[in-house]
Structure 1
Amino acid sequence: MILKRDTHRRILFPWEGRGGLRRFIELGRVRPIALGLSLLTLLVMIGVHEHREAGIRRTRATLLGVRPAIEAYMADHEGGCPPALSAVPAQYARYKEPPADAWGNPLRLICPADKLGKSYVLESGGPDGVPGGLDRIQ
């Protein structure tokens, strides 16, 4: 008597069995590594964003600290703007050297201002340092 072979039996790779590739990926080693890499990527993205936002906050604080010196200079000079921030005398300024933004770029003083109702514009180039760029801080 001759026995017939079972035709459905064969050697299978781990990803060819029940569940296929999805089951193979769900193995114990792959999931923690993928989760760790995802978490690390998320933390780096949050860190970069917070570093940029902290620089913006520092630059805004610097701008607010410089404005009283410019306004005091203008009040004593009949509304005339100083030619540059370095030209503001020490009696008005609380800084020893011209202030810079959080990225080391010098602040810009524009007199007269292009906008109505403002006599001057004090601005920073922002994170990219481009004067008048899209991410400038005023």
Structure 2
Amino acid sequence: MKKQKAAPQNGTTLNKQSEHSTSPARFATKLELVATHLLKNGIEGASSLSGLAGLHDLNFRNSISDLRKMGITIHDERFPHHHSGGGLIYLKRYWIADRREARKVAELVNTRRKARNEDPLTRELIARLLVAFPTSTSTEQPAA
């Protein structure tokens, strides 16, 4: 006869693999990374170059499009860039329109972070990030 272990009666045994792990269930989505990148860059904005360098995102403009579809106002402007081959190309720089829109982006980031059991951005951090944005919408990017 084979012995079997009795189940503990006090309910202290972990039952599922996920209960043994302290790591987040998922990694940040591309959309969350781009939204955070825009928040942290403030009115200086971000381009596909910074998206590629910082986020390894080859389709930065697609994430911008997704944010716009979610109702977030993001301004853009073309700027010249000299590539390594010596030629000139034009890229776009994107920035969040104003403080109200930046708050919406911060709320989106926190919603995504909570969904994957990650700590949300703190109120203090959000307040520091929002200060960098103008209080009213302007279609032109302020001079840096």
Structure number with greater Rg is 1
Q: Which has the higher strand share?
A: 2
Q: Which has the higher contact order (CA 8 A, sep 6+)?
A: 2
Q: TM-score, normalised by structure 2?
A: 0.28
